[in-house]
């Protein structure tokens, strides 16, 4: 495990790999384009996400730009054995708060993968990057994800005809990390902070 120095002003940085209890997250690369595109064009899984072209070269080009950009971290969620299980992205840093989304898991994921992957996102954002709050949007109709975030203590701040906008305080995140500690009982291992 690397020594990680928390920055005075948090910013979203990529990491080569994060390791939890039963899951790992690795930095997405152009070689992941086919897997990611398969998730993004699945009508049931992606109906609450922003639309994509559905073309593999476009997904590869987006991942190339991501690799050379900054201000976001896009991960492929995997089993510890390296089997891809989904994606998640951290982006839109606003002072001490970060946003996360693009969270998709394959059908037949191990039970607990949703909770563990969310805890990994929060552990990385708080303990490695130095954020103290989160904000995110949930599309109207995506009630299972809305309920998931509310169980974590998310507070509904605003809504319109398209989405719900939530915030999550440091205290609520820490309380959920304690409540669900069986899914991530130890510290998150962070490899290759960039």
pLDDT digits (tens, 9 = 90+) for 152-180: 999 999 999 999 999 999 999 999 999 99
- Percentage of the chain beyond pLDDT 90 is 83
Average pLDDT value for the chain: 92
Token pair, residue 40, equals 């993004």
Maximum alpha-carbon separation in the chain: 45
Q: Is the model's pLDDT at 54 over the cut of 90?
A: no
Q: Is the model's pLDDT at 1 over the cut of 80?
A: no
Q: Confidence class of residue 49 from pLDDT cuts 50, 70 and 90?
A: confident
Mapped to the 3 state alphabet, what secondary structure does 140-172 carry? CCCHHHHHHHHHCCCEEEEECCCEEEEEEEHHH
Q: Confidence class of residue 194 from pLDDT cuts 50, 70 and 90?
A: confident
pLDDT digits (tens, 9 = 90+) for 70-125: 999 999 999 999 999 999 999 999 999 999 999 999 999 998 999 999 999 999 99
Query: What is the secondary structure of the chain as a DSSP string?
Result: ----PPPSS-----EEEEE-SSEEEEE--GGGHHHHHHHHT-HHHHTTS------HHHHHHHHHHHHH--S-EEEEEEETT--EEEEEEEEEEETTEEEEEEEEE-TTPPTTHHHHHHHHHHHIIIIIT---EEEEEEETT-HHHHHHHHHTT-EEEEE-SSEEEEEEEHHHHHHHHHHTGGGS-SPPEEEEE-
Token pair, residue 41, equals 């064009």
Query: 């054995």: which residue's tokens?
Result: 81
Q: Mean pLDDT over residues 45-55, rounded?
A: 74
Question: What is residue 2's predicted lDDT score, i.e. its pLDDT?
Answer: 57
Question: What is residue 4's predicted lDDT score, i.e. its pLDDT?
Answer: 58
CATH numbers and ranges of domains, the chain: 15-131+184-188 (3.40.630.30)
pTM of the model: 0.91
Q: Is the model's pLDDT at 52 over the cut of 80?
A: no
């Amino acid at each position: 495990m690397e020594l990680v120095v928390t920055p005075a002003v948090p910013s979203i940085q990529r990491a080569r790999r994060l390791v939890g209890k039963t899951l790992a997250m690795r930095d997405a690369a152009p070689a992941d384009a086919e897997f990611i595109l398969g998730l993004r064009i699945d009508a049931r899984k992606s109906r609450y996400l922003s639309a994509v072209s559905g073309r593999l070269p476009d997904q590869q080009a987006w991942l190339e730009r991501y690799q050379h950009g900054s201000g976001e971290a896009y991960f492929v969620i995997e089993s510890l054995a390296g089997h891809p299980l989904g994606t998640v992205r951290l982006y839109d840093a606003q002072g001490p708060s970060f946003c996360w989304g693009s969270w998709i898991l394959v059908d037949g994921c191990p039970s607990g993968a949703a909770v563990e992957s969310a805890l990994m996102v929060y552990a990385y954002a708080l303990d490695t990057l130095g954020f103290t709050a989160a904000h995110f949007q949930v599309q109207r109709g995506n009630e299972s994800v809305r309920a998931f975030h509310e169980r974590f203590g998310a507070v509904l701040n605003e809504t319109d005809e398209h989405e719900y906008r939530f915030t999550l305080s440091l205290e609520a995140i820490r309380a959920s990390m304690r409540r669900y500690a069986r899914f991530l009982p130890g510290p998150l291992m962070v490899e290759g902070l960039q």
